[in-house]
Amino acid sequence: GLFAFAADRNGSERYAIHVREIGGDGGDMGPAIEGARGDFAWAKDSKILFYTELDHNHRPWCVKRHRLGADLAAAELVYEEKDAGFFVGVGKSQSGRFIEITAHDHTTTEVHLIEADAPDLPPKVVEPRHRDREYSIAHVKIAEQDKLYILTNADGAEDFKIVEAPLAAPGHANWTDVIAHQAGLLIRSMVEFSGHLARLERIDGLPRIIIRELASGAEHAIEFGEEAYELGLLPGYEFATINLRFTYSSMTTPRRTFDYDMEARTRVLRKEQEVPSGHDAGDYVTRRLFAKAHDGEKIPISLLARADTALDG
């Protein structure tokens, strides 16, 4: 087996990508890839490494394909971003099937895919860039059919929606709503697994995690006892799993990391941030209140107090 890692040894944020053999002598298999951004992805056969390269302005401007054992000067240009305002990233789909190339600025996205088991083929665009249209993709299989779930703000979905597209024809013309846009409900991110889709939302300023069973479309939210808190998704590297790792914290509770069984709906605490001076969450209470602004909008307020504070005005 092989593993790759990216190292910045001088704080310049220009990385060198090293490839080594697991259980080997600790030496690199050939010279390091210099001038890289640090993100990379393996082809399925572990003989080709895709990586992004920085230009003289420190912009990740292209994706290259390096075949192990070949001269680095022979690395092939797979994708070049000619718009100086766009940045390029490369990674692998959660399913492991695709090399994902993402070109983006702050408001516009374009995603290209390469089959990980056909790494010599050129990338195929999911949907060509359209000014101020953002999207990210999740490869899923439902009833033996390969599909893409796409998180996007297209069609006026200011707070984002999730659409479905056939893998063979994933362009905007074939997008159909799975989770329709709902004004005031921001869909922040999603992560796919072999049988489930987890998404992180925010409504009325409060986050929530929704689990969707892909086969049936049934959904449930993970329940929490406090009135105000913060959540984060930690998808990990497993695809064929029913476990989701997430983080939870609040003004009373230090950061906790949980493993959540998406079928049994049970959770296991894996880690809790230590407060060296000591802390008992039971000594405090968090409240979620709302105040009305002069224009009629509701302003969410998170209130922290000692549990023994007299609420007497």
Give the residues across from 7 on adjacent strands: 16
Token pair in block for residue 74: 């022979």
**Separation between Cα atoms, residue 98 and residue 179, nearest integer Å:** 24
Whole-number Å distance between alpha carbons of 184 and 201: 10
Query: What is the model's pLDDT at position 195?
Result: 97
Residue identified by tokens 């609040």 is 250
Quote the CA–CA distance of 94 and 89 in Å, as a whole number.
15
Q: Given this model, what pLDDT does residue 152 score?
A: 98
Beta bridge partners of 186: 202
| Bridge partner list, 145 | 142
- CA dihedral angle for residue 277, residue 280, residue 283, residue 286, rounded to 10 degrees: 100
For residues 198 and 233, give the distance between their C-alpha atoms in angstroms, rounded to a whole number: 9
On average, the pLDDT of the chain sits at: 95
Interatomic CA distance for residues 229 and 218, integer angstroms: 25
pTM of the shown model = 0.92
- 98 Cβ partners below 8 Å, 6+ apart? 92, 113, 114, 115, 116, 139
CB of 165 closer than 8 Å to CB of 177 = no
Name every residue whose Cβ is closer than 8 Å to that of residue 156 and which is 6 or more positions away in sequence.
181
Residue by residue, pLDDT tens for the chain (313 residues) are 899 999 999 999 999 999 999 988 888 999 999 999 999 999 999 999 999 999 999 999 999 999 999 999 999 999 999 999 999 999 999 999 999 999 999 999 999 999 999 999 999 999 999 999 999 999 999 999 999 999 999 999 999 999 999 999 999 999 999 999 999 999 999 999 999 999 999 998 899 999 999 999 999 999 999 999 999 999 888 999 999 999 999 999 999 999 999 999 999 999 999 999 999 988 999 989 999 999 998 898 999 999 999 988 7
Q: Which residues of 135-148 are buried (b: 16+ CB within 10 A; e: fewer)?
A: bbbbbbbeeeeebb
- Pick the closest to residue 9 from 19, 18, 1 (CA basis): 18
CA distance 106 to 83: 13
Q: Alpha-carbon distance 301 to 68, whole Å?
A: 55
3-class secondary structure, 237? coil
Q: How far apart are CA 160 and CA 250, in angstroms?
A: 26
